[in-house]
Structure 1
Amino acid sequence: MKQHARDIFYGVIVGVANIIPGVSGGTMALVLGFYERLIGAINNISAATVMAMIKALSFKKENIEAFRAEFNKIEGPFLIKLMAGALMAIGALAKLMSYLLENQHDPTYGFFFGLVLVSAYTPWSLIKKKTLPAIIAIAIAAAGIIAVSEIMSDDDIIRKAEAHQQVTEQTETAHDVTGESVSIGKYIFHFASGALAISAMILPGISGSFVLLLLGGYFDILRAVATLNLPVLGIFAIGCLAGIIVFTRLLNYLLRRFYDPTLGFLLGLVLGSLWVIWPFKHSVMVGSRFVHLSNRLPGSIGLNEIATLGAFIAGAVIVVIMIVIEKRSRKA
């Protein structure tokens, strides 16, 4: 029972993380200690899994037994509990998190900063030999995340926010957008951007939506969601599926062949993400929303800074408690 509750709780944390811009579900999977299990489970999904699922629809006993064996091979129960927790979190907390990000930006990010900072202990402890290649991998990955996050200047971010506002206003009044023609080249682009974005989401420290933004496909997908453009969304979803299958196989191979450097690289992505989720940012108003820009140090100590510090401590304490409970459960 405890195992079921824990897996669902992990899903909830991943779901909440995916709502927060700059926080990756892959980050939470790594720092909570189930990243390798997740990658391994997805890696086991194959054509045989799909065929077993289709044959099971005949409801013949032997086909159902074959599907059950295949389902356990891919750790289906674990994946379903994880997905259920994530969907529950997104459904139940999306509006709350949207409110907190809009009205309590700094404390909200302060909480996740504390959560991620202390959680970095978990992947660090999993590195068996702290050799030079592992340390170099950490440094390269951390520097890479910071560099990618700084690709767009404050002016670029403001322009993107203004474009986002324009797209939102257009889709609110659009009626015939779903009928617009889309070229074959555009469909290929949506497929590729889906594959790259989902691959980024699997990696700790990288936001899939940010990758879409860099590729120039973010607003196309946003418009497709708003107008229910099913052909575009379908191609994008197929790209995501292809990306997750191919990329998890690559990651699984790297973890088997180069465990410590690969885990070091993943840890570096987590540490680099701390730059992205630093709670104090310069901000400007675009339309009716605040847009948060480059990092800053707090200029003075007020209620906002105290609340942010309190949220940081709360996030850190929660992780410490989870680590202690996990260690005790292993000893028991």
Structure 2
Amino acid sequence: MTYNKGALSGAVSRTIKGVLIGMIIILPGISGGTVLFALGLYEELMKDLAHLRLMPWLPFAIGTGAGILLSGWVFNWLFMKYTTIILAFLLGCILASIKAVLGKDFYPHPKRMVSLVIGIAAGLVLAGMSDFGTGNVATPGVLSLLVGGALASSTMILPGVPGNLVLIIMGIYEALLHALAELEWMTLIIFAIGAVLGVVGLSNLLDKIYSRHRDILNWLFAGLIIGTGRMMIPANLDNPVLFILVALLGFMLVWKWEIS
């Protein structure tokens, strides 16, 4: 009986933590791995994933899904109604995440600078190909959803790496927000399948690669963040001062979160 109560208590706790992380990670710039650390779940999750012990994490997965659905609906409504303001907020969040990606060592030696420049160049190219924030939301193809889900979920659990930026870089973030708001289950299910495959099949591999080449990859990713940030700036700004102020608000919120 005691065991059952303990198991039930643990399941409820993980469900609540799942809801919290689901509501938080919808924001670009927030690292899922950092949130897992803050909730005291990261090490246990990585150990269980390495041994494919997935059932204890079912309540957490359900809670995370519920949190994403709830915050996704709210965020999509805000995005549709206040597009320019939300773009400014997202830009601030994304730029502030560079601090978490690079850590405390900002010394710009040559290898880092090369990685940064390559990342910025790639990000600018991707931004130029994107129609993010224009309202032209097209349903992504099955392959894009599967790959996006796999990459986003597997990178999201790496501490300091905002996995949701993968979705922006791939150009499917806005479409997924729309799918969450409109409950387009086929789109969401395909993406969820990719996410599960990513967590189970790629997370440990990416963790090993990231551990070996953390420094260079961090600066490359920081460059991607800077370059793709261009897609958050509308071509015609009616109120640039307000845009800058809201961007600063998003920047400070994520910066403070990463410090805490």
Does the pair score TM above 0.5?
Answer: yes
Q: Which amino acid aligns with 2:217?
A: F
1:140 to 100, 109, 115: 115
Contact 1:115 1:315 in 2 (8 A): yes
Say yes or no: does 1:16 pair with 2:24.
yes
2:247 to 308, 317, 322: 308
Contact 2:49 2:200 in 1 (8 A): yes
Contact 2:15 2:62 in 1 (8 A): no
Aligned to 1:329: none
Hey, what's the Cα distance between the residues in 1 that align with 2:166 and 2:230? 15
Q: What is the correspondence of 1:262-281 to structure 2 with a 5 Å cutoff?
A: 262=214, 264-266=216-218, 268-270=220-222, 272-277=224-229, 281=233
Residue 212 of structure 1 and its aligned partner are, at CA, apart by 6.3
Q: Alpha-carbon deviations, 1:69-89, whole Å to 9, x = none?
A: xx4xxxx49x82x86367336
Aligned to 2:209: 254
Say yes or no: does 1:208 pair with 2:167.
yes
Residue 91 of structure 1 and its aligned partner are, at CA, apart by 0.6
Aligned to 2:235: 283
Residue 254 of structure 1 and its aligned partner are, at CA, apart by 2.6
SS of residue paired to 2:225: helix
Q: Alpha-carbon deviations, 1:261-280, whole Å to 9, x = none?
A: 23541454145314434696
Q: Number of matched residues? A: 235
Q: Do the aligned partners of residues 282 and 84 (structure 1) sit closer, same or farther apart at CA in structure 2, a change above 3 Å counting?
A: same
Hey, what's the Cα distance between the residues in 2 that align with 1:37 and 1:108? 31
Say yes or no: does 1:43 pair with 2:49.
yes
Say yes or no: does 1:84 pair with 2:63.
yes
Hey, what's the Cα distance between the residues in 2 that align with 1:158 and 1:131? 32
Hey, what's the Cα distance between the residues in 2 that align with 1:36 and 1:162? 36
Say yes or no: does 1:245 pair with 2:200.
yes
SS of residue paired to 2:234: strand
Q: What is the correspondence of 1:1-332 to structure 2 with a 5 Å cutoff?
A: 12=20, 15-18=23-26, 20=27, 23=28, 27-30=31-34, 37=43, 40-41=46-47, 43-44=49-50, 46=52, 49=53, 71=56, 76=57, 80=60, 84=63, 87-88=66-67, 90-92=69-71, 94-96=73-75, 98-99=77-78, 102=83, 104-105=85-86, 107-109=88-90, 111-113=92-94, 115-120=96-101, 122=103, 124=104, 136=111, 139-140=114-115, 143-144=118-119, 146-151=121-126, 153=128, 156-158=129-131, 164=137, 190=142, 192-201=143-152, 202-203=154-155, 204=161, 206-208=165-167, 210-211=169-170, 230=186, 237-255=192-210, 259-262=211-214, 264-266=216-218, 268-270=220-222, 272-277=224-229, 281-283=233-235, 302-320=241-259, 322=260
Contact 1:11 1:85 in 2 (8 A): yes
Hey, what's the Cα distance between the residues in 1 that align with 2:198 and 2:70? 25
SS of residue paired to 2:126: coil
Residue 196 of structure 1 and its aligned partner are, at CA, apart by 1.9
Hey, what's the Cα distance between the residues in 2 that align with 1:31 and 1:141? 26
Hey, what's the Cα distance between the residues in 1 that align with 2:67 and 2:221? 27
Q: Which amino acid aligns with 2:252?
A: I
Q: Which has the higher Rg, Structure 1 or Structure 2?
A: 1
Percent same amino acid among aligned pairs? 10
TM-score (norm 2): 0.58
Residue 104 of structure 1 and its aligned partner are, at CA, apart by 1.6
Q: Do the aligned partners of residues 10 and 210 (structure 1) sit closer, same or farther apart at CA in structure 2, a change above 3 Å counting?
A: same
Q: Which amino acid aligns with 1:150?
A: V
Hey, what's the Cα distance between the residues in 2 that align with 1:249 and 1:210? 22
Contact 2:146 2:195 in 1 (8 A): yes
SS of residue paired to 1:283: coil
TM-score (norm 1): 0.48
Hey, what's the Cα distance between the residues in 2 that align with 1:310 and 1:159? 21
SS of residue paired to 1:104: helix
Gaps of 5+ in 1: 54-70, 169-188, 285-297, 323-332
Contact 2:95 2:251 in 1 (8 A): yes
Contact 2:20 2:64 in 1 (8 A): yes
